[in-house]
Amino acid sequence: MMELQIYTPTDDQFITAIEWNYDELKEQLAASLAKYQGLSYAEDEIATMAKKDRANLNKFKKALDEKRLEIKERLLASYVPFDTKIKELQRMVDSVLIGIDVQIKSQELERKQRKIQGILAEYLRTVPERMRVVMPLEKVMDERWKNATYALGTISKELEERQQKTEKEMETIRRLGSQYTTEIMAFYLESLDLGSALAEGQRLEQGARQAREYEARREAEQPPRSQPFPSSPPPPPPPPPPEVEVEDGPLREISFKIYATRRQEKEFGDLVRPWIRRNGIRIVKN
């Protein structure tokens, strides 16, 4: 078996800690920085003293960072080549692993496809045709069924139990007697979850109840409609003009001419025609 061995440094030669005057330097720095806490510079000190203090502090901060990078570089001087060579060996292994991984995944895919075909066969054998629209395979498929250790017999039994459960739940919805049975059934067929479907039915009924209550309150809050005043009875028709008794005698011919405008002619006709009809006078037009 191949094994990586480190010759140098040995375990006791590895640097376990970098020893330096951390505690001493921290104490000195805290004492030095204390004088700057709450320090307020006068206007004439900004250009001189304030800028000088800022420069000194930045200089010390930069010195710390330079030393940090120096130690890091020295520590990595031996590690970087080692890291590069390790990654080179890993790439050599990966070049072979890729081919093996492709074969394993291809075989696993073929196995899953054969398993899915077996699941489909059990589905068609177990679930009657009338229920396949209600519970299609893609909706009731359990991802665990695709595992090699999940037996087809177990899958067939679970399909049968699911079918029986679905039919009972559909019958439960039919017996609700709700005005929203169709909507509840449609929701159930989408989710195959009886609890969610019943909750949807309660939501619909509650919404309808609230709507009815609102309409009832709205009607109750409206002011009463004013009753229209009864219309006065139509005036009685005018009494017919008194009949004029005409002395009997032979008929005589009466001729005369009228000179009038169209409007006057119409008004004359409206006045004379009733009298002519009422007295039975015969008119002969030339």
Mean pLDDT in residue range 133-138: 92
What pLDDT shows up at residue 232?
Answer: 63
What pLDDT shows up at residue 141?
Answer: 93
Torsion of CA 271, 276, 282, 286, to 10 degrees: -10
Burial class (CB in 10 A: 0-12, 13-18, 19+), 159: buried
Has residue 244 got a pLDDT over 60?
no
42-95 pLDDT, tens digit per residue, is: 888 888 888 988 999 999 999 999 999 999 999 999 899 999 999 999 999 999
State the CB neighbour count (10 A cutoff) for residue 200.
Answer: 19
Measured CA to CA in angstroms, residue 281 lies from 91, 225, 240, 254, 275 at distances of 133, 58, 18, 11, 9
What pLDDT shows up at residue 15?
Answer: 83
Mean pLDDT is highest, among 202-206, 218-222, 266-270, for 202-206
24-33 pLDDT, tens digit per residue, is: 999 999 999 9
Residue 103: pLDDT band (50, 70, 90) is very high
> Which comes out higher in pLDDT, residue 163 or 257?
163
Contact between residue 119 and residue 136 where contact means Cβ atoms under 8 Å apart: no
What pLDDT shows up at residue 11?
Answer: 82
Has residue 245 got a pLDDT over 70?
no
Tell me the percentage of the chain whose pLDDT exceeds 90.
Answer: 53
Has residue 106 got a pLDDT over 90?
yes
Cis peptide before 9 (omega within 30 of 0): yes
Has residue 107 got a pLDDT over 70?
yes
> Which comes out higher in pLDDT, residue 234 or 130?
130
Average pLDDT of the chain? 86
Residue 37: pLDDT band (50, 70, 90) is confident
What pLDDT shows up at residue 161?
Answer: 94
Has residue 115 got a pLDDT over 80?
yes
CA distance 207 to 213: 10
Q: State residue 283 phi and psi, 5-degree precision.
A: -110, 135
Has residue 247 got a pLDDT over 70?
no
The closest alpha carbon to 172, from 164, 263, 24, 47, belongs to: 164
Task: Tell me the residue length of the chain.
Answer: 286
What pLDDT shows up at residue 268?
Answer: 79
Residue 10: pLDDT band (50, 70, 90) is confident
Please give the structure tokens belonging to residue 285.
């037009």
What pLDDT shows up at residue 228?
Answer: 59
What pLDDT shows up at residue 146?
Answer: 92
Q: Report CA 193 to chain centroid distance, whole Å.
A: 20
